[in-house]
Amino acid sequence: MVKTSLFLVPTPIGNLGDITLRALEILKSADLILAEDTRTSLKLLKHYDIRNPLKSFHSFNEHRALKSIINQLSEGTVIALISDAGTPGISDPGFLLVRECLQNNMKIECLPGPTAFVPALIKSGLPADRFVFEGFLPHKKGRQSRLKELSEERKTMIFYESPHRMVKALEQFSEHFGSDRIASVSRELTKIHEETVNDTLENLINYFTSKLVKGEIVIVVSGKK
């Protein structure tokens, strides 16, 4: 049996109790844990008394770190990759490392676990049998053209957005999709102040314009009828 070199380990998106028993087992047994932000990950690891070696691996260093990591994997080092929250590779670093491992015939395992867009999609009440995951749209170049393309999309659409850009994003969705389009905004998922609001884009804009918004945002928008 080929030994697994790299484990992709999902971590809780908020509530630390959402981690799986197998995820804890892998993190405790790995020779090295790669983390998007070691300061954020240390909170989780300390909570579960995991003291394995920890190294940063994020979007700003993943290109130059690849060769070194592949060398370690080829020498038999078992590595677990985690992101700040959720599943590595979903709007987080991971794709480049996975591709490089596959090109070097290394065995990879991805554990099932938390991903923010799944509970947001289910709680939206919008069709979940077919959907389009867009993640973070481009901030500037290509954003308008992508929104224009998505205005004809008939499947449910899922977006990630930061709190300070959320209202602007809703306004752009209203402009391209229509103010009466049904949508859902979820924030602080699995945390104490979790909130999901389902309404038309127009009403969502009015609701969130009048309040201070914190936490990571998932916006789910119905497709064109």
Q: What is the pLDDT of residues 186-196, one digit of tens each?
A: 999 999 999 99
Residues 6+ apart with CB under 8 A from 145: none
> pLDDT > 70: what percent of the chain?
99
Q: pLDDT per residue over 87-129, tens digit each?
A: 999 988 899 999 999 999 999 999 999 999 999 999 999 999 9
Burial of 156 from C-beta contacts in 10 A (0-12 / 13-18 / 19+): buried
Residue 63: predicted pLDDT:
86
d(CA 90, CA 73): 22
User: Is pLDDT of 60 > 90?
Assistant: no
Select from 154, 171, 176, 169 the least CA-distant residue to 219: 169
Residue 111: predicted pLDDT:
97
Tell me how crowded residue 40 is: count the other CB atoms within 10 A of its CB: 14
Are 49 and 77 a contacting pair, CB within 8 Å?
no
Residue 61: predicted pLDDT:
85
Q: For residue 2, what pLDDT band results from cuts at 50, 70 and 90?
A: low
Domains parsed from the chain with CATH numbers = 4-110 (3.40.1010.10), 117-221 (3.30.950.10)
